Amino acid sequence: MDRSGSVAQLRAVVAAFARTHLGDDARWCVGLSGGADSLALTAVAARLRPTTALIVDHGLQAGSADVAERAREQAIALGCVGAHILPVEVGSVGGPEAAARTARYGALRSARDGAPVLLGHTLDDQAETVLLGLGRGSGARSLAGMRAHDPPWCRPLLGIRRDTTVAVCAELGVTPWQDPHNSDPRFTRVRLRNEVLPLLEQVLGGGVAEALARTAAALREDTEALDAAAAEIRIPAQRLPIADLHGLSAAVRRRVIRSWLLAGGACDLTDAQIRSVDALVTDWRGQGGVAVPSGLSRERLFAGRRNGALVLYRQPVA
């Protein structure tokens, strides 16, 4: 295995990631879909440490159980010490892609048994994520893309192109599963991959995916520095006095507001929503509260301004 070009390259990348981020952890899991990225990662990971493959069966396609079983067999053949199929029920909140992602991460988190989980996201995935964030106007946090190490999630392949994982599978003689969803133009990410990125590469003369990944890395550094600055500010649990926000830079102030909202039960906040709440501080004209997303089913969560402070309150769903 070590003598093969692409395999040796991938092995070196994963080993370096492990030394930097995981230290002496004795074992890890890998999220395996059966596609080229996760299959190549599984093959390399299994030669480095005791590896358990976690295979999520979303049940969204005919024959998904057969695909999962084939991935389980491949994982064992590649040297994994264990391979578990995790059937999930995919909801509808946030659309099909978001709902599948929520179900997948929940299953992986429950099954990892305290071990870190390696995920097969590549540089191409990072570039697509940045473009999605750019198109949605989601702010620097979204443009910063995926973290390489966001415990328990580990993404050692964020600097590796997708064609390298395909080459690894070819060198090892394993056949990856071709997910039909990856060519279905109904999914935004698929159109970015197959239409938008190739056009950008053509118009801008190549290197676009790498440039987008570098942009994500730079924004990630800036975002984490600003998050650290905001984290030093004490945030009251209930009322957030407007006076406490005066004198803060806009970037830090909005991060304080975001943390306060999340602590109060908000979730999946967008940059636009945070800015709307921020306007209650910077552009107060007596306006009403701002609805923010939450996990509530029978009530809606609002942020408003009352008696010189930001407050959270609930209203029943009509």
Binding site, annotated residues for ATP? 33-38
Could you give the strand order of the β-sheet that contains 149-150, starting from the edge strand earlier in sequence?
82-87, 51-57, 28-31, 117-118, 153-154, 149-150
Tally of CB atoms within 10 A around 238: 11
Determine phi and psi for 316, rounding to 5 degrees. -65, 145
Q: How far is CA 275 from the centre of its chain?
A: 22
Provide CB contacts within 8 A for 136, sequence distance 6+. 142, 270
Return the axis-axis angle of helices 162-172 and 36-48, rounded to nearest 10°: 60
The answer to whether the beta carbons of residues 143 and 133 sit under 8 Å apart is yes
Q: What is the DSSP string of 58-83?
A: ---STTHHHHHHHHHHHHHHTT-SEE
In the chain, alpha helices (H): 5-21, 36-48, 64-77, 96-111, 123-136, 140-143, 162-172, 188-191, 197-204, 208-231, 250-263, 271-282
Q: Which residues are annotated as a binding site?
A: 33-38
